[in-house]
Structure 1
Amino acid sequence: MESSSADPAVVLARFLACLNDIWIKAGPPSYAEVEALSRKFATPVQGRTLRVEELKRSTVQRILSRQGKTLPKWPWVASLVTVLRVIASQNGVAPDDLGTLDEWKARYEEAWRRFHGRPRETPSPTGERPDTAAVREAAVPRRVPVPGVRPELRRLAGIRLSGSSQGRDQAMEEHAGLHALAGRFKTAGWWRRYWDVVPEWAELYLDLERAARLIHAYEIQFVPGLLQTPEYAEAVIRLEHGTAPETQINRRVELRMLRQKRLWGPNPPRLWAILDEAMLRREYGGPATMQAQLEYLLKVSYLPNVGIQVMPLGKGGYAAAGGPITALRFAEELLPDVIYLERLGGADYPTGAADMLHFGQVLDRLSIEAATPVESRDMLRRLCSGK
C-alpha cells in the first residue's frame, strides 16, 4: 500500500483529482470563464501579493484531464485555486469549502515530496525574496477557536437578518458575541479619553480596528480615516459636525490621527483599501488640502503593509453600490471576521452567515474590478498633477 501511495503516477492522479473536485464544487465553470477571470486579476484578496497567472483554457484542460506527466507548478495551482474561489463565491458557494491557499500549499508540498521523493526547495511562490515573503505572510492572519463566539461568524458577509423575532434574537446574540470578542483584546477601550466625541455605534469598531491584523475596506465618499491627512480629516469632520465647538473638532481630528499610528509602528496591520475615483476628485477642504491628501495616498501606497486600489469612474464599483464596507480580520485562527457598514449617523455590524458570504463576494469582485496597485499609483500621480 505504501509503495502505491508513493508511486508518482498515483500521487499525480490523486492531486489532479482534488483539483477536479473543487472545479466541480465551484460551479463548475467553463474553461473560457476561468481564462477570462484570470486575466482580470491583479492580486488575490486575502491580503496576499501573489500575481495570478493567465490560465489558458488549453493548458487548464490538458492538466485537469491528466494529460501531463508531472505536477503543475505551484504558481499555476495557486492561480487556479484563487480563481475558483472567486467563481465559487459568485455562485453562492463558500470559498473556504474549496480550501484556502494555505491548505492547498500544504497539500501541494506533500504531493511534491511524494512525487519527487524529497522535500520541495524552491523560492517563495510569490516570487519575492524569502525575507520579503515572510513579511507578507506575517500580515495574513490565522485563526484559533474562541469560546463563546459562534463559528459561523467566521466568514465575510452581507445580507441583513430578517425582521422576525427569531432574527432579532439571533442578531442580539451575535452582536453580544462581537462585544465579547472586543473585550478579549488588551486594546479594548484605548479611546476612552475621547469618550465625548465617540458615538456609541463607533465604540465597538474602534476596539476591533485596534486589534485587527487585516483591514480590508472599500470607500466611496471619503478617504478612509486611517489614510487621511489632518487637514483633510478636519474638512470632512466639519461636514458633519460643523456646529460643534472648536475643541471637539480638534479632538476628533486628534483621535483620527492616533488611529493611524499603528500603520507606521511596529507589527502594523495590513490595510487593503479600494477607493472610488470620484472621491479623489472632490476637493474637500479646498485644492491645497486635496492635493496634499493625494500626495499622501501616493506616499503610503509604498508601505509594505498598505495596498491601495482605485476604482476607475468607468467601472462604477457596482458590486458595492450600497456604500462603504470594512472587513476586519484578526491574527488568531478561527476568530470571526467582522463586517462594519458605516452610514450617516450610525453603523451596522451584520453577522449572519448569508451576510458574511455576501460581503465577501462584494469585496472579492471589487478587488478584481479595481485598477491594480501599480495602475492605481499611476492614477494617483496623474491626479496629483491635475490630470
Structure 2
Amino acid sequence: MAPRSSPTARRRRLATALRQLRETRKLSCAEVGRAVGWSESKVSRIETGRTGIRADDLDLLLRTYEVDEEMRKALHVLRRQASHRGWWSTYGDALPAWFQGYVGLEDGARSVMIYQGQLVPGLMQTDDYATAVMRAHQPSVAADEIERQLAARAARQALLTSSDALEVWTVLDEAVLRRVVGGPETMKPQLQRLREIAGLPNVTLQVLPFAHGAHAAMGTSFIHLKFPEPGDADIVYIEDLTSSQYLEEPEDIERYSLVADHLRASALPPEASTSFIKCIADAMS
C-alpha cells in the first residue's frame, strides 16, 4: 500500500535532497547564494523547509549542482507534490500556524511514539475532553471556534482508522488518567475511549503508574515520528502553549529513542494498562 502523500513531508524531503546536493559538492550556503544571486538566508530557508521553492528557482539550483536530467525531473515532481495544499489548510483559522507544520508531518508519518505526562493526546481525545482543555486554556473562547477546532481534531483522528492507518505507540503517565478534566461525566467516557483505541490493531497503549517511581522522561512530553521513505530522517516534536520545537540531529534522535525504550520497559504491558484504566474509571464517582 502506498504511503500517505503529505505535502509537508514532501517539502521536507525536497529540502533534505537539496541540502545533500549542496554538501556533496562541498559548497556553503553563502557560496551557493553568490552563485545564483540569492542571500545566504534564502538558501538556508529552502534547505530547512521553512519556505517553498518556485520551479525556476529549483532549476537554477539544479544547474548549479550539475544534476542529471533524471534527478531533475524527480525533484520537480517532488516540488509539485510539496506545493499541494493539505487537508489541514482548510482549518487554518482553527489551527495555530506553528501547529500546522506538525499536523502535516503527522499526516505523512508511518508511525509515532507518544509520551504524555499531563493530558490525553489529541489523537485520542473525546470532543467533551477536548472542549474542557480548550476552555481551560482560553476561558473566553467562542463556541464556533471550539467547533472548528473539534472538526480539525476529528480529521486528525481519522489517521487511526484509515485504510493506511498511522501506527501509534503511546505511553501515558498515570497523572493523565487521574486528572479529572471536565468532571467525571467527561472523564469517564474519555477513559472508555482510551480503552477502545487501545484495541485497534495499529495502536499500542501503555500506562506508567506512579508506583513505578522516577523515569527517563520526567518533566517533559514528546512525540517521535518515523516516516515511510528510507531517506526521511526521524523527528522528535516537543510543544508548549504557544510554540513548538523539532529535533532532528542524530544525537537527539538517539537520546529520545533510548528514553522511549526505557518508558516502554517501565510501563505496564498493554493488557494490564487497559485493566488499569478500567479500574480508575470504575472508581470515578
Residues 187 and 207 in structure 1, CA contact (< 8 A), matched pair in contact too: no
Alignment deviations for residues 79-118 of structure 1 (CA, whole Å, 9 cap, x no partner): xxxxxxxxxxxxxxxxxxxxxxxxxxxxxxxxxxxxxxxx
Give, in whole Å, the separation in 2 of the partners of 1:380 and 1:183. Answer: 46
Say yes or no: does 1:176 pair with 2:48.
yes
Q: Quote the residue 2:242 is aligned against.
A: 345
Give, in whole Å, the separation in 1 of the partners of 2:152 and 2:202. Answer: 21
Q: Quote the residue 2:198 is aligned against.
A: 301
Residues 185 and 211 in structure 1, CA contact (< 8 A), matched pair in contact too: no
Residues 174 and 351 in structure 1, CA contact (< 8 A), matched pair in contact too: no
Give, in whole Å, the separation in 1 of the partners of 2:280 and 2:172. Answer: 13
Residues 19 and 47 in structure 2, CA contact (< 8 A), matched pair in contact too: no
Give, in whole Å, the separation in 1 of the partners of 2:150 and 2:178. Answer: 22
Residue ranges of structure 2 left out of the alignment (5+ in a row)? 4-12, 21-40, 53-77
Residues 276 and 317 in structure 1, CA contact (< 8 A), matched pair in contact too: no
Q: Which one of the candidate residues 227, 230, 235 is aligned to 1:330?
A: 227
Q: Quote the residue 2:255 is aligned against.
A: 358
What letter matches 2:88 in structure 1? W
What letter matches 2:205 in structure 1? I
Q: Quote the residue 1:149 is aligned against.
A: 16
Q: Which has the higher contact order (CA 8 A, sep 6+)?
A: 1
CA drift at 1:353: 2.4
Q: Quote the residue 2:128 is aligned against.
A: 231
Give, in whole Å, the separation in 1 of the partners of 2:244 and 2:19. Answer: 21
Q: Quote the residue 1:291 is aligned against.
A: 188
Distance 1:212 1:376, change over 3 A: same
Identical residues among aligned pairs (%): 33
Say yes or no: does 1:266 pair with 2:163.
yes
Alignment of 1:176-325 (within 5 A): 176-177=48-49, 189-316=86-213, 318-325=215-222
Alignment deviations for residues 236-278 of structure 1 (CA, whole Å, 9 cap, x no partner): 1111122122211221122111110121121111111110111
Residues 213 and 270 in structure 1, CA contact (< 8 A), matched pair in contact too: yes
Give, in whole Å, the separation in 2 of the partners of 1:349 and 1:310. Answer: 25
Give, in whole Å, the separation in 2 of the partners of 1:296 and 1:191. Answer: 24
Alignment of 1:9-88 (within 5 A): none
How many aligned residue pairs are there?
Answer: 228
**TM-score normalized by the length of structure 2:** 0.72
- Computed over aligned residues only, the root mean square deviation of the Cα atoms, in angstroms, reads 3.0
Residues 234 and 249 in structure 1, CA contact (< 8 A), matched pair in contact too: yes
**TM-score normalized by the length of structure 1:** 0.54
Residue ranges of structure 1 left out of the alignment (5+ in a row)? 1-134, 139-145, 154-168
What letter matches 1:203 in structure 2? Q
Give, in whole Å, the separation in 1 of the partners of 2:185 and 2:173. Answer: 20
CA drift at 1:175: 7.8
What letter matches 2:206 in structure 1? Q
Give, in whole Å, the separation in 1 of the partners of 2:79 and 2:261. Answer: 26
Residues 294 and 380 in structure 1, CA contact (< 8 A), matched pair in contact too: yes
CA drift at 1:182: 11
